[in-house]
A = this chain, B = another copy of it.
Amino acid sequence: MAPLRPVSLDEIESIAIGAWILGTGGGGSPYLALLNLRRLYREGTVVSLMDPADLADEDRVAVVSNMGAPLVGQERLTDPRTIAQAVRMMEDVIGRRFRAVMSLEIGGGNSLQPFMAAALLGLPVVDADCMGRAFPEAQMTSFAIHDLQMYPLTLVDVRDNAVVVARAASWKWMERLSRTACVAVGSIASTCKAPRTGKEVKECAILYSTSKALRIGHAVRAARRAHEDPIQAVLALEGGLRLFAGKIQDVERRATEGFLRGTATIDGLDDSRGHTMRLAFQNEFAVAWLDGAPRATTPDLICVIDTVSGDAIGTETLRYGQRVTVIALPAPPILLTPKGIEHVGPRAFGYDLDFVSVFA
């Protein structure tokens, strides 16, 4: 087995930046998790990254995420112990030890949840996730698209509450049961999703997405240091498209049913002057309309970036007056298959639109 690669705190800083861009507005701000990791590293922790190819077929991997409405995650502080507890509880449920931890979604703060769990549990983090971005619902994963088993799930909150969804009749039932438990504890909870075997991770996960977040974050920071345009650096690196640039003119937002839903309207500036872009989100940006016509939809990554700093802006931190650039990044191929579009295309979010990729 190849040696595990230690991840430095500097690399974690880059992952936070890159993952926040890949979050397409969601996955929760990485800021609080980053503060936790800075402290854990100060105390001597070093988390290692594991190449998924080094997993044995029979290994078990914990798939973790902080679940809920991102706006609530800003108020209820992130605690590494709850995510570690969700993993430990899952070990009790399945009666097996985990070989490693991985992200449910590489987008946003959920890219760092496995690092926090790993730090406390002494496990490595697998370089992979099952969205390649962030999505709001349980059935919106490469594992669901591959029809893998959806249970059990453990859910832990900051009090002393813990729920196990032991069986679910379908992925949608898993979403419903875990979501209602999440809402009951205050619309934010630490979860360990259905455990995966090493074989399942190697065959069905989105591989090397942690490295991708790291690469994007490095590019942003390098551009900043060189006084170059960080957004251009990301677009060049990932083959992305600049969709719109402007000033946020209006935000309508509500935390409901365990999600953050709403819309944002952007008045164009520079090349976009005279035009308007409207974005709709359910935790993550789902559809972008340019002057009323659909311009980009999920699963293409629709990312709203601070025009100057290159930092992503989450759906919970959008504000009137922000100067933003909307870009699109390519989605992982599995999401673009017919089955993938069924799970994560615009109709899966309630929009009567066909998916047409901006990269088509």
Q: Closest B residue to A167 by CB, please name it.
A: B162
A317 contacts the other chain (CB 8 A) = no
Contact A159 B163, beta carbon cutoff 8 Å: no
Interface mask (A307-330 → B, CB under 8 Å = 1, otherwise 0):
000000000000000000000000
Residues of A208-240 at the interface with B, using a CB-CB cut-off of 8 Å, are none
- Closest CB-CB distance, A176 to chain B, in whole Å? 5
- Nearest-neighbour CB distance to chain B for A161, whole angstroms, equals 5
Q: Which residue of B lies closest to A174 (CB)?
A: B161
Give, as a whole number of angstroms, the nearest-CB distance from A181 to chain B. Answer: 7
Q: Which of A141-197 contact B (CB under 8 A)?
A: 154, 159-169, 173, 176-177, 180-181, 183-185
Name the contact of A163 in the complex, choosing from B89, B161, B166, B183 (C-beta under 8 A): B166
Please report whether the interface of chain A is mostly helix, strand, loop or mixed according to DSSP: mixed
Asked if residues A181 and B163 are in contact (CB atoms below 8 Å), the reply is: yes
Asked if B164 and A166 make an inter-chain contact with CB atoms under 8 angstroms apart, the answer reads yes
Whether the pair B164, A160 counts as a contact (CB closer than 8 A) is no
CA distance A151 to B183 in the complex (A): 20
B160 touches A163 (CB 8 A): no
- What residues of B have a CB within 8 angstroms of the CB of A184 in the complex? 176-177, 180
With a cutoff of 8 Å between Cβ atoms, the chain B residues found around residue A180 in the complex are: 180-181, 183-184
Q: Which residues of B contact A168 (CB under 8 A)?
A: 160-161
Please give the distance in Å from A356's CB to the nearest CB on chain B: 35
B173, A167: Cβ atoms under 8 Å?
A: no
CA–CA, A85 to B292, complex, Å?
Answer: 53
Query: How far is A154 from B166 in the complex, measured between Cα atoms in Å?
Result: 9
A169 touches B161 (CB 8 A): yes
Distance, CA A190 to CA B185, complexed state (A): 22
A184 to B183, CA, bound (A): 11
CB distance from A240 to the nearest CB of B (A): 39
Within the complex, which residue of B160, B164, B165, B183 is in contact with A169, where a contact is CB–CB below 8 Å? B160
Chain B positions within 8 Å of A183 at CB level? 180
Q: Which residues of B contact A159 (CB under 8 A)?
A: 169, 173
Judge whether A163 and B165 touch: CB under 8 Å: yes
Report the separation of the CA atoms of residues A160 and B169 in the bound assembly, to the nearest whole angstrom: 5
Give complex CA distance A160, B149 in Å.
Answer: 13
Residues of B within 8 A of A165 (CB): 161-164
21 contacts between A and B (CB under 8 A): A154-B166, A159-B169, A159-B173, A160-B167, A160-B168, A161-B167, A161-B168, A161-B169, A161-B177, A162-B165, A163-B163, A163-B165, A163-B166, A164-B164, A164-B165, A164-B166, A177-B184, A177-B185, A180-B180, A180-B181, A181-B181
| Extra inter-chain contacts (16) besides given A160-B168, A177-B181, CB under 8 Å | A89-B166, A160-B167, A161-B165, A161-B168, A161-B173, A163-B163, A163-B164, A163-B165, A163-B166, A164-B164, A164-B165, A164-B166, A177-B184, A177-B185, A180-B181, A181-B181
